[in-house]
Amino acid sequence: MVKFSVILITFICMFSICTYANEEIDKLTLPIMESIQKGKISNIFSMAFPKDSPSRRYFSDSEIEQYDNKFQGSFQTLGKSSGYFEYLHSDIPDVLVLKYYVVKFDVEPAIIKFILYKQDKEWRINSFAIDDTLDDYLEESAKYRMGSLSHKDVRDEIKAKPLKQEK
């Protein structure tokens, strides 16, 4: 019984730490995603790298302005956003987090990619990018799937499905 209690307490503590880290990360990423959703795109890069961010010191003011304009142009080209969702979350606990959001725009979907880093006590956005080549990812995935046809388990899966035949 004591062993079970210790395991349960450990699990609850670990869950609480992970939840807290996710809340910290969401405080950095979700305001940017909400701005994109609302069409407030004029200073997205500045939002990702605010003046008090340690990462900001690696950009000059003119570079920040250029990136703000570049992102604004990209978002304007894609059109209005009709929603977004988190697609991927991968991490090295308490060090590095990779988050992909898929945003549905008028023209085509895009991926907003965040890399967040925790050097000491606080999370910060280390990288922020937009990728509108989602269709390329699907094509590569399809090529991989086609290449998998040589694997026995995939062939067995295909054999288990009845073929549709014309009458």
Provide the token pair at 157.
């899966």
Q: What is the dihedral of CA 46, 47, 52, 55, to 10 degrees?
A: -70
**Residue 11: pLDDT above 80?**
no
Is the separation of the CB atoms in 132 and 115 below 8 Å? no
**Residue 77: pLDDT above 90?**
yes
Task: Tell me the average pLDDT across 55-67.
Answer: 92
Provide the token pair at 14.
């670990």
Mean residue pLDDT of the chain comes to 83
Count other C-beta atoms under 10 Å from residue 73's C-beta: 11
Q: What residue type is 33 in one-letter code?
A: M
pLDDT in tens, 91-122: 999 999 999 999 999 999 999 999 999 988 89
Per-residue model confidence (pLDDT) at position 146:
74
Query: Element (H or E) spanning 115, and its range?
Result: strand 109-118
Sketch out the chain's domains with CATH numbers: 2-159 (3.10.450.50)
- Provide the 8-state DSSP code for 53: -
Per-residue model confidence (pLDDT) at position 143:
82
pTM for the model: 0.73
